[in-house]
Amino acid sequence: MAPPAVPSPPHKERSMKYPLILGLLLAGLATCAHAADRYQAYLFDVIRQERGLAISIKKEIEKIQPGNYAALASGPQSPGEKLTLNGQTYYLYSMCEQHNCFDNNAAIFYSPKTRDLAGYVFQSDCSVKTFGNTSSAMQNALAQYLGTDASLNRCK
């Protein structure tokens, strides 16, 4: 027969609960803070909420290379990175063709406030094509993000 269980002193039980409760509260606050900025989600989640954005991105990419949007949209994407460029808030997203990311990818800048959309499409011949109103500030931010020089040439 097992000896009867000895209850813990009341102060021990209480001291074990506080770190657990504090941890749960902090985790909840971190989740709420991140969820408060819905544009720092993955591009496909943002597109689900703003159907017009998907249509605009598709239209711009299809002008550069017909049929390429489907390949880009089906591959890996990054969450939006919030940037302030020339006093304007933009989110930088990237997307690429599955199993062909180096040769076929795009970087997209989007401003929810003004609905400005601009981007860069990188192709297998090392060329970079732009759409929308790209700026030197965007190009410099993207070069820093990619770790390339200001010309955005990844093939050097």
For the chain, the domain total comes to 1
Residue 16 covered by a domain: no
CATH of the domain at 108: 3.40.1420.10
Q: What is the pLDDT of residues 97-128, one digit of tens each?
A: 999 998 999 999 999 999 999 999 999 898 99
Residue 123 covered by a domain: yes
Residue 95 covered by a domain: yes
Q: What is the DSSP letter of 83?
A: E
Residue 129 covered by a domain: yes
Residue 84 covered by a domain: yes
Residue 3 covered by a domain: no
Find the domain containing 103 and state its range.
39-146
Burial per residue of 22-42, b for 16 or more beta-carbon CB atoms within 10 angstroms, e otherwise: eeeeeeeeeeeeeeeeebebe
- Give this prediction's pTM: 0.75
Q: What is the pLDDT of residues 40-84, one digit of tens each?
A: 999 999 999 998 999 999 999 999 999 999 999 999 999 999 999
Q: Which residues pair with 106 in a beta bridge?
A: 95, 121
Span of 18-22, 68-72, 145-149 with lowest mean pLDDT: 18-22
Residue 154 covered by a domain: no
